[in-house]
Structure 1
Amino acid sequence: MERINYLFHRYYEQTATDEEVRELMELLKDPSQDARLSAMLEQQWEGLVAADPRFTAAEGLPVLNRVLGREDKVRFLPRLRWVAAAAVIFLGGVTAFLWQQPAKKSQQAQVIMPGSNKAVLTLADGSSVTLDSTGKQVIRQGNTTIMQSGGQLEYTTNGNSNTISYNTLRTPRGGQFHLTLPDGSAVWLNAASSVTYPTAFTGADRTVKVTGEAYFEIAKMANKPFRVKISETTVINVLGTNFNINAYTDEPFTNTTLLEGSIGVMTGNNQQVVLRPGQQARTTGTDVKVLDNTDIDQVIAWKNGAFNFDGTDLSSVLRQLSRWYDVDVVFEGKIPQRRFGGAIQRNLQLQQVLRILEKMDIKFRMDGRKLIVVQQ
């Protein structure tokens, strides 16, 4: 079961070797794996059919049979909609789309894959360690031990230290990472973000600094408040709670959204606004506005592996895509006035996402890693 799952996703992500492809194709013909294969295909279906709904079950069946080298109907896919999903999967997503609409090689856009777990850790001495989803290592700094396992980084402190040193974890565009701080608090970093923190919380409080977007789950320590510094004018005061901060410099506002507990948002005029769960503090400079009944699912969709574009304008949508897929966005002419709805999984290739957005009468073209919005 584990081997099929591994091979399945390697093939779908277009990273399988020729030997792995042959192994997968043999396993697909094994009747004992029918239930497992059907479940995997059903799980992939929603994102794939949304990416290209023109790919119907009737088209999918002969394509899948050709891939498997079989003339009979596919035994392990009793539902026709799974057949269409399988055809898209086994032709590699975008490849299936191009198969339906042949084009010269010069016209085929570069396949842009989604972001992944990757970051750079800057240590107290200024040295840097590159982290990715495959890494497994132990790093020691004085009394602090740092353990990396895939896309997670965890700090533990052994004994007391009178020396305060700082580390910075920074994700590039197209990256994300999960960090456990020395006090047990958890931080999820979105793309193009950073968090700077001490390797041990030895003072009267626990203060970290954030850029970009981060989701926090704070370990409760009543005698040692947690503080997040967003800018020179905005600080979040925390006791024990879950919240999300979106503080990208290219966004018009800094949004702090509370899921559980209680936090105070303090601006440069020394005024503090206390939030209740479900509220969002929207700050610009020293001004802060509290919004009620915030769509929490939309706010933390990125952490849960999705984009949620409900009520989002085109510029905001493209800023999110630019950070996650590491592409530059260029507008030809005026920016189309559109607002979107719905959610899209973040594991799709960029071209699949763009085909969904084009249903809102927005046209795109790719030039290398440049995404061009075409004037209508």
Structure 2
Amino acid sequence: MTDEQIIRYIKGELDESERTEVVSWIKSEDCNFRHFSKLQLAETFREMEHEALSDEEAKERLAAAGWPDTANQKWKKKSGWLSIITRIAAILLIPLTVVGVWTISRKNGQIKYLTESTNAERIIPIQDAASSTYIVHPGVQGDVILPDGSRVRLNSASTLKCPDRFDEQARVVELSGEGFFEVEGNPDWPMYVKTSKGLTVKVTGTRFNVSSYENDPALKLTLVEGSVMVIHEATDRQYKVLPNEEMVFYDGRPTLPHKQEVDVLPAIIWKDGILLFENTQMPEVIKKLERWYCVDIIPQDPAIMEMRFTASFESESLTRVLQLLKITSKIDYRIEGKQVFLTR
């Protein structure tokens, strides 16, 4: 298999039979998969570095969205910046296409490929005798069907571990990162979603989202339907969550959660490939962009971290998003390999 064929596959330039040939080659050996991953990452960053949106193109995009003449617009720094970003939210879009380089251990397992109809690229089960670990790398999402038929949508940079078969007493899985769960109902057969933050979610049949990244200061659970109990493992204290409620457990204060009624859509819209910010603090914005794009974003002006951001993203390159931010907020950027430097 030549690099030229692989790159044409990455760009979507092959016909069905050629695509099948490349996929078969990728799946045949671990070394083939690693080589494909390296080429895909290199091609993605080559596109990012050369796809900059010109000022005129950005202004045309803004004008098409109903934004007034940008040539004479005087941008304000904080409240003005937020207002501008709010008004262009409908046209800012981000893809889930960047795939990092990783090494897999197949042992008795196999690579699982998702169907082309989904936004996700792939997830990788690493099998042992009793369980499977599903790893979703930065820049992609993945779907997992659990042994009982329950479904989990995993967000970028997430890991889910589950047994190959659930026992008769309980269904236990372990999550690091973010997942949207659709659990098959059975009040006599509860599911426990364990997290690395010392909190376990107990459910018997429900739809909910839980975010528990190791580098985040909190666990956030949002319930769509049904009911769940969150168990603090160290004290056995339990907290009930009802539909349209969100409960946040902060590191250092795990027994003093914050619960409120919310519109659940912003918490679960990521599973449809949409990255949504609503007056979000810049440190949180940066973390999410890093996960979705597999890059390191480095702000070089402390004032940037004081900003808040409101926007909705789907199906645009990182370079185009950064270019629009440059036009509207005077946040400049520089891309060097996998690092993005932000300045003012």
Superposition TM-score tier, normalisation by shorter sequence: 0.5 to 0.7
Could you tell me how far apart the structure 2 residues matched to 1:202 and 1:248 are? 27
Runs of 4+ in structure 1 displaced over 6 angstroms?
Answer: 116-123
The aligned counterpart of 1:278 is 244
The aligned counterpart of 1:197 is 162
Q: CA deviation at 1:232?
A: 5.8
User: How do 1:267-346 and structure 2 match up within 5 A?
Assistant: 267=232, 268-285=234-251, 286-336=254-304, 337-345=306-314
1:360 and 2:329 are equivalent in the alignment:
yes
Describe the superposition over 1:267-314 as per-residue Cα deviations: whole angstroms up to 9, x where unpaired: 132111100111112113433423312231211121011111111111
1:130 and 2:99 are equivalent in the alignment:
no
Describe the superposition over 1:68-127 as per-residue Cα deviations: whole angstroms up to 9, x where unpaired: xxxxxxxxxxxxx69xxxxxxxxxxxxxxxxxxxxxxxxxxxxx974369999988x855
Structure 1 residues 309 and 208, CA gap change in structure 2 (3 angstroms):
same
1:115 and 2:81 are equivalent in the alignment:
no
Q: CA deviation at 1:16?
A: 4.6
The aligned counterpart of 1:76 is none
Q: Which amino acid aligns with 2:59?
A: R
Q: Which amino acid aligns with 1:344?
A: F
The aligned counterpart of 2:185 is 220
> RMSD value over aligned CA atoms?
3.7
Q: Which amino acid aligns with 2:139?
A: G
Which SS does the other structure have where 2:316 is aligned? coil
**Percent of aligned positions that are identical:** 26
Structure 1 residues 222 and 203, CA gap change in structure 2 (3 angstroms):
same
Could you tell me how far apart the structure 1 residues matched to 2:316 and 2:325 are? 13
The aligned counterpart of 1:256 is 221
Structure 1 residues 126 and 369, CA gap change in structure 2 (3 angstroms):
same
Q: Which amino acid aligns with 2:333?
A: F
**Would you say the 8 A contact 2:212–2:220 is kept in 1?**
yes
Q: Which amino acid aligns with 1:210?
A: L
The aligned counterpart of 1:8 is none
Report the TM-score, using the length of structure 1 for normalisation. Answer: 0.61
Describe the superposition over 1:225-252 as per-residue Cα deviations: whole angstroms up to 9, x where unpaired: 0110012620001011011111111212
Could you tell me how far apart the structure 2 residues matched to 1:296 and 1:320 are? 18
Could you tell me how far apart the structure 1 residues matched to 2:316 and 2:294 are? 14
Unaligned 5+ segments in structure 1 are 1-10, 21-47, 59-80, 83-111, 136-149, 156-162
Structure 1 residues 121 and 295, CA gap change in structure 2 (3 angstroms):
farther
User: How do 1:1-376 and structure 2 match up within 5 A?
Assistant: 15-17=11-13, 52-55=57-60, 114-115=96-97, 126-127=107-108, 129-133=110-114, 165-231=130-196, 233-267=198-232, 268-285=234-251, 286-336=254-304, 337-345=306-314, 347-358=315-326, 359-374=328-343, 376=344
**Would you say the 8 A contact 1:119–1:175 is kept in 2?**
no
Could you tell me how far apart the structure 1 residues matched to 2:115 and 2:103 are? 15
Q: Which has the higher contact order (CA 8 A, sep 6+)?
A: 2
The aligned counterpart of 2:22 is none
Describe the superposition over 1:136-186 as per-residue Cα deviations: whole angstroms up to 9, x where unpaired: xxxxxxxxxxxxxx8688x9xxxxxxx981110001111211011110100
Which SS does the other structure have where 1:302 is aligned? helix
**Would you say the 8 A contact 1:118–1:132 is kept in 2?**
no
Could you tell me how far apart the structure 2 residues matched to 1:256 and 1:204 are? 24
Structure 1 residues 230 and 288, CA gap change in structure 2 (3 angstroms):
farther
**Would you say the 8 A contact 1:167–1:196 is kept in 2?**
yes
Report the TM-score, using the length of structure 2 for normalisation. Answer: 0.66
Could you tell me how far apart the structure 2 residues matched to 1:262 and 1:119 are? 39
Could you tell me how far apart the structure 1 residues matched to 2:227 and 2:288 are? 28
Q: CA deviation at 1:335?
A: 4.9
Structure 1 residues 152 and 173, CA gap change in structure 2 (3 angstroms):
closer
Q: CA deviation at 1:128?
A: 5.3
Could you tell me how far apart the structure 2 residues matched to 1:364 and 1:248 are? 26
Could you tell me how far apart the structure 1 residues matched to 2:309 and 2:329 are? 8
Could you tell me how far apart the structure 2 residues matched to 1:122 and 1:232 are? 26
Q: CA deviation at 1:18?
A: 9.6
Q: CA deviation at 1:333?
A: 3.6
Q: CA deviation at 1:266?
A: 1.0
**Would you say the 8 A contact 2:246–2:259 is kept in 1?**
yes
**Would you say the 8 A contact 1:119–1:170 is kept in 2?**
no
Could you tell me how far apart the structure 2 residues matched to 1:277 and 1:194 are? 25
